[in-house]
Amino acid sequence: MGTDKNWYKQAVGYQIYPKSFKDSNGDGIGDLQGIKEKLSYIKSLGVDFIWLNPIYASPQVDGGYDISDFYNVDPMFGTMADFQELLAECHKLGMKLIMDLVVNHTSNKHEWFIESQKSKDNPYRDYYLWADATEDKMPNNWRSFFGIPAWTYQKQTKQAYFHIFAAEQPDLNWKNPKLRDEIYKMVRWWLGEVGIDGFRLDAISHIQKMDWDFKLKSFNGDDPWEPFMNVAGIEDYMRALKDIFDEYDAYTVGEASGVRSNNGAADWTDKKTGFLNGIFELEHNWRLPDGRGDIYGYKKVVTRWQKDLLERGWNALYIENHDMPRSISIFGDGSITSAKALAVQYMLLRGTPFIYYGQEIGMSNYPFKDISEVKAEDTRTHYFNALKDGLSEKEAFFRNVLNSRDVGRTPMQWTGEKYAGFTTVKPWMAVNPEYKTVNAEKSVELFGLYQNLIKLRHDEKAIQDGSIKFYFERSKQVFCYMRDEFLIIVNLSSQSGAVKFVDKQGELEQVLGSRQRTFVPNMRLQPWEYQVFKK
Ligand code: ISL
Ligand code: CA
């Protein structure tokens, strides 16, 4: 699909967490036919493509990011035939479909790992990372992102295997050419045989590891992740992947933590020589001690990425995803007014914006009351680790549950009916109690604003790949930038704010605004006010 190689610069993506989007067969779990039923809703928003979180066969230890068969859809989502129908329907409506590509690790139930475990001379042994160990002495002291040691010992071969996420997610050995060939074959199959339009590459900056004797300097900050963050040698694997992506004209966006805005990001996403069409930065997700998003920190990170990728490279923009709490809850004040301001400030930046299902109707964090309600393994581990570290139950709950990634994975709120119109039985995860007032039938204003923002992106060259210039960088609350002839001003605060332009702006006409306004150099902004002016 798509002959225009630059299409993604004016495109907007819509991210779906399949378990929570729409249940078509009354088992309480979202599925592929459910997504198909709702394609016209997605299309009406105006987006150009859909990214599906993993739907592959999986024991679901990590929400589908633990894959046991790359070539099959998990039965709870439907069949390969359902997938083909969904894909065909997307294409008919003029939308592309991309899938998660999870190749840093597999599930421990993947047949490669089942074989690999058996003996040191099994043909699949080197598909994974094994090293000599004893029950109480691991090959090194590296840690996993999920708050556990990065090694799990196995008695039968007196070795441990390496994993940077759950123990049920053994890391693949990219140094093994046989493994790489298997991955490349699988990538070709999805792009060539099945015909999907591209991938969101999961945790891709971690596929290369340092030598096991690398010593961690500290367990704070970024250091614990250094041995597997964008480690030298990764370029060769990325280049090989890129060659395949090009054969199929695939659109690719990478989750590439550790690739810095001023060191790596432009190379990774350079139009001619880069590996991917865009990468998500993860830095803006840093939170204040009270669990809230840090508006000023967010502004600083985003501004830096925009500047560093101005000459070369391309951003992928987002304020929510399946790993983060809802933006209306952590950056906003819970009001739809704040959700609107959040939408405007990021949708018109340079890059390809993504909207996480439910964001367009203002869904907020699920108000967990007790740890027993939480199913996700990693959240539970983090919570119990915090208790062990001496935090009170209240504090541990607040930090690790109320602000965990599970609060943003609740069923889509379609209507004010029972179970929010998502399903007809008790769903796999509780519906947010707000559903009677916050749902797709009621939230037409916010939805309409997203439609307008997407339309601006489609229509205006300045918004697509125009330049960007920032104003009031030191303001703790006003995010303001110029995209050629467009001036975007957003007050990201429940307090009023002020702006004072010193350079001459000339005649400006209002394009969008939370209230009617004529541009003047001195303006007092209302809480969460947004304005888009045009020269
Ligand atoms: O690098 C990180 C933090 O600095 C990690 O955030 C890491 O890159 C990220 O957690 C990876 O997330 C992705 O892979 C995980 C999965 O649980 C997440 O849902 C997914 O988005 C393992 O596949
Ligand atoms: Ca279902």
pLDDT tens-digit series, residues 26-40:
999 999 999 999 999
The first and second tokens of residue 185, run together, are 């074959």
User: Could you tell me if residue 210 is inside a domain?
Assistant: yes
Cα separation, 117 vs 133, in Å, equals: 14
Task: Name residue, tokens 């391309």.
Answer: 314
Q: What is the pLDDT of residues 444-463, one digit of tens each?
A: 999 999 999 999 999 999 99
Q: Enumerate residues 6+ apart whose C-beta is below 8 A from 229.
A: 205, 206, 222, 257, 258
- Closest residue by Cα to atom 9, ligand 1, is 203
**Å from CA of 43 to ligand 2 middle:** 22
Q: Are residues 419 and 323 in the same domain?
A: yes
Mean of pLDDT values over 454-473: 97
Q: Lowest-confidence range among 129-143, 208-222, 225-239? A: 208-222
Q: Are residues 251 and 156 in the same domain?
A: no
Closest CA to 294 of 477, 472, 145, 469: 477
**Residue 1 confidence (pLDDT):** 43
DSSP per residue, 350-380:
SSEEEEETTGGGT--------GGG---HHHH
Work out whether strand 69-73 and strand 56-57 pair parallel, antiparallel, or are unpaired: antiparallel
| Ligand 1 atom having least distance to the Cα of 105 | 23
Task: Name residue, tokens 């709950």.
Answer: 397
Mean of pLDDT values over 501-530: 95
Residue 403 has pLDDT above 50, yes or no: yes
First-last CA distance in the chain: 35
**Å from CA of 6 to ligand 2 middle:** 36
Among 171, 255, 378, 434, the one annotated catalytic? 255
Residue 394 has pLDDT above 80, yes or no: yes
Work out whether strand 530-534 and strand 509-513 pair parallel, antiparallel, or are unpaired: antiparallel
**Residue 482 exposed, middle or buried by CB count within 10 Å (0-12, 13-18, 19+):** buried
Work out whether strand 13-16 and strand 352-356 pair parallel, antiparallel, or are unpaired: parallel
The first and second tokens of residue 200, run together, are 């969101």
Q: Are residues 67 and 135 in the same domain?
A: no
- Provide the domain limits for residue 129: 111-162
**Residue 6 confidence (pLDDT):** 86
**Residue 3 confidence (pLDDT):** 56
**Residue 378 confidence (pLDDT):** 84
Q: Note the ligand closest to the C-alpha atom of 105.
A: 1
- Closest residue by Cα to atom 19, ligand 1, is 323
**Å from CA of 33 to ligand 1 middle:** 27
Question: Are 376 and 458 spatial neighbours (Cβ–Cβ below 8 Å)?
Answer: no
Residue 169 has pLDDT above 90, yes or no: yes
- Closest residue by Cα to atom 1, ligand 1, is 257
| Ligand 1 atom having least distance to the Cα of 104 | 23
- Closest residue by Cα to atom 8, ligand 1, is 203
Q: Note the ligand closest to the C-alpha atom of 66.
A: 1
Q: Are residues 100 and 138 in the same domain?
A: no
How many residues make up the chain in this entry?
535
- Closest residue by Cα to atom 23, ligand 1, is 65
Residue 220 has pLDDT above 80, yes or no: no
Q: Are residues 229 and 342 in the same domain?
A: yes
Cα separation, 267 vs 409, in Å, equals: 33
Residue 283 a catalytic site member: no
Return the axis-axis angle of helices 234-247 and 177-188, rounded to nearest 10°: 30
**Which of the 8 DSSP states describes residue 410?**
S
User: Could you tell me if residue 167 is inside a domain?
Assistant: no
Cα separation, 302 vs 257, in Å, equals: 14
**Residue 505 confidence (pLDDT):** 82
**Å from CA of 277 to ligand 2 middle:** 33
Cα separation, 236 vs 177, in Å, equals: 12
User: Could you tell me if residue 321 is inside a domain?
Assistant: yes
On the CB side of 419, CA atoms within 13 Å amount to 18
**Residue 290 confidence (pLDDT):** 83
Question: Are 351 and 316 spatial neighbours (Cβ–Cβ below 8 Å)?
Answer: yes
pLDDT over 90, % of the chain:
93
**Residue 5 confidence (pLDDT):** 79
Mean of pLDDT values over 145-159: 95
**Residue 97 confidence (pLDDT):** 98
User: Could you tell me if residue 132 is inside a domain?
Assistant: yes
Q: Note the ligand closest to the C-alpha atom of 18.
A: 2
User: Pocket of ligand 1, candidates 255, 259, 281, 301: which has the most ligand atoms within 8 Å of its Cβ, to mutate?
Assistant: 255
Q: Are residues 281 and 356 in the same domain?
A: yes
User: Could you tell me if residue 357 is inside a domain?
Assistant: yes
Return the axis-axis angle of helices 336-347 and 444-459, rounded to nearest 10°: 10
Map residue 309 onto helix, strand or coil.
coil
Cite the beta strand spans of 106-220 per DSSP E: 130-132, 151-154, 159-162, 198-201
**Per the structure, how many domains does the chain have?**
3
State the amino acid at position 376 in one-letter form.
Answer: A
Cα separation, 37 vs 41, in Å, equals: 9
User: Could you tell me if residue 437 is inside a domain?
Assistant: yes
**Å from CA of 203 to ligand 1 middle:** 6
User: Could you tell me if residue 375 is inside a domain?
Assistant: no
Domain final position from 129, 162, 195: 162
**Dihedrals phi, psi of 199, to nearest 5 degrees:** -140, 150
Give the CA angle between residues 469, 472, 477 to the nearest 5°: 120
| Ligand 1 atom having least distance to the Cα of 257 | 1
Mean pLDDT (the chain, rounded): 96
CATH code, 37: 3.20.20.80
Higher pLDDT, 399 or 301: 301
Map residue 471 onto helix, strand or coil.
strand
Question: Are 29 and 427 spatial neighbours (Cβ–Cβ below 8 Å)?
Answer: yes
Pocket of ligand 1 from Cβ distances under 6 Å: 62, 65, 102, 145, 165, 202-203, 225, 255, 257, 282, 322-323
Map residue 254 onto helix, strand or coil.
strand
Among 66, 171, 202, 377, the one annotated catalytic? 202
Cite the beta strand spans of 155-302 per DSSP E: 159-162, 198-201, 251-255, 278-280
CATH code, 117: 3.90.400.10
Q: Are residues 286 and 307 in the same domain?
A: yes
CATH code, 519: 2.60.40.1180
Work out whether strand 278-280 and strand 315-317 pair parallel, antiparallel, or are unpaired: parallel
Residue 225 has pLDDT above 80, yes or no: yes
Q: Are residues 133 and 232 in the same domain?
A: no
Cα separation, 241 vs 224, in Å, equals: 27
Q: Are residues 214 and 349 in the same domain?
A: yes
Q: Are residues 38 and 65 in the same domain?
A: yes
Map residue 310 onto helix, strand or coil.
coil
Q: Are residues 281 and 364 in the same domain?
A: yes
Mean of pLDDT values over 504-517: 94
**Residue 2 confidence (pLDDT):** 45
User: Could you tell me if residue 146 is inside a domain?
Assistant: yes
**Å from CA of 102 to ligand 2 middle:** 23
Residue 197 has pLDDT above 60, yes or no: yes
Q: Are residues 120 and 151 in the same domain?
A: yes
User: Pocket of ligand 1, candidates 100, 199, 228, 282: which has the most ligand atoms within 8 Å of its Cβ, to mutate?
Assistant: 282
Helix (H) or strand (E) holding 243: helix 234-247
Task: Report yes or no on whether pTM surpasses 0.95.
Answer: yes
**Å from CA of 27 to ligand 1 middle:** 28
Q: Note the ligand closest to the C-alpha atom of 100.
A: 1
Q: Note the ligand closest to the C-alpha atom of 32.
A: 2
- Closest residue by Cα to atom 20, ligand 1, is 202
**Å from CA of 322 to ligand 1 middle:** 10
Residue 506 has pLDDT above 90, yes or no: no
Sign of CA dihedral 13, 19, 22, 24: positive
> Which residues, by Cβ under 5 Å, contact ligand 2, an ion?
23, 25, 27, 29, 31
| Ligand 1 atom having least distance to the Cα of 165 | 22
Residue 255 a catalytic site member: yes
